[in-house]
Amino acid sequence: MSDSALIRLSAITKTFGRGQAAFQALKGIDLVIETGEFVAIMGPSGSGKSTAMNILGCLDTPTSGSYEFEGVRVEQLSRNERALLRRHYLGFVFQGFNLLARTTALENVELPLIYRGEPAAARHAAARAALEQVGLAGWEHHTPGELSGGQQQRVAIARAIVTRPHVLLADEPTGNLDTHTGEEIMALISALNQAQGITVLMVTHEPDMAAHAKRVVRFVDGRVDSDRRNGEPA
């Protein structure tokens, strides 16, 4: 295995349901992600990309196959061990922001650190630093209802990076934003990837957003249909 291989999926399958109702969402996925990559995962609805993302994020387990994260066989971990891996190594950004409505930006960003049991002073300092990093210094005490969609997604990104994750998993991060704001968010995610070396895995339907990634993996019918560097011919 390459020393820089952060993630390795080997012959991953995922079947939902049983008997005649069974549906095979993934049909033998092989995928290697190197440390520091920015990978866009694309494909039509029902192609398996969201199922693969849930497995990569330790939110679901494969039916068969091997998932290695930094050399650890994730599918062999207990539920509690997978939760620890999520908490310490992964950050998540969703299309719908998923912020607590009556909670300030600072408190929203602190949430992952509360789950870790970090002391209050350390939480406050880390959350302020993360908000500053995404361009929201001075907005710490605003609630989501007082923020634009782009600002809310910046808060969500700050919450994802406050734990200094090895991997940022972004599921349609610009899906609820206008084109201009979406480009701003993609520039921010790209900067985190380039300046901090955070590995980024992003599901998107939008070719313009996928163009920010260094590599595009396309899923079709539960399989990897293509895997190419951006700029290479399709």
Average pLDDT, the chain: 92
CATH number of the domain to which 125 belongs: 3.40.50.300
**pLDDT for residue 141:** 96
Dihedral (C-alpha) 57, 63, 64, 68: value to the nearest 10 degrees?
10
Please give the average per-residue pLDDT across 102-126, as a whole number.
94
Q: Does 149 have pLDDT greater than 60? A: yes
Q: Does 150 have pLDDT greater than 60? A: yes
Question: Residues 6 or more apart from 48 whose CB is under 8 A from it?
Answer: 14, 25, 26, 27, 29, 219, 221, 222, 223
Is 72 domain-assigned?
A: yes
**pLDDT for residue 3:** 56
Is 31 domain-assigned?
A: yes
Please give the average per-residue pLDDT across 128-135, as a whole number.
94
227 forms beta bridges with 217
Q: Does 1 have pLDDT greater than 60? A: no
Q: Does 51 have pLDDT greater than 70? A: yes
Q: Quick one: what percent of the chain has pLDDT higher than 90? A: 86
pLDDT for 8-18, tens place per residue? 999 999 999 99
Q: Does 233 have pLDDT greater than 70? A: no
- Provide the domain limits for residue 15: 5-229
What confidence category does residue 176 fall into, taking pLDDT thresholds of 50, 70 and 90?
confident
What confidence category does residue 234 fall into, taking pLDDT thresholds of 50, 70 and 90?
low
What confidence category does residue 44 fall into, taking pLDDT thresholds of 50, 70 and 90?
very high
Higher pLDDT, 2 or 209: 209
CA–CA distance, 163 with 116 (Å, rounded to integer): 9
Q: How many domains does the chain have?
A: 1
Is 84 domain-assigned?
A: yes
Can you tell me which residue has the tokens 């993630």?
7
Is 192 domain-assigned?
A: yes
Higher pLDDT, 24 or 96: 24
Is 200 domain-assigned?
A: yes
Q: Does 55 have pLDDT greater than 50? A: yes
What confidence category does residue 143 fall into, taking pLDDT thresholds of 50, 70 and 90?
very high
Q: Vertex 169, ends 166 and 174: CA angle to 5°?
A: 135
Is 46 domain-assigned?
A: yes
What confidence category does residue 230 fall into, taking pLDDT thresholds of 50, 70 and 90?
confident
Is 17 domain-assigned?
A: yes
Distances (CA, A) of 109 to 31, 70, 105, 163, 193: 31, 26, 6, 10, 19
Is 234 domain-assigned?
A: no
Q: What is the phi/psi pair of residue 90, to 5°?
A: -120, 145
pLDDT for 56-91, tens place per residue? 999 999 999 999 999 999 999 999 999 999 989 999
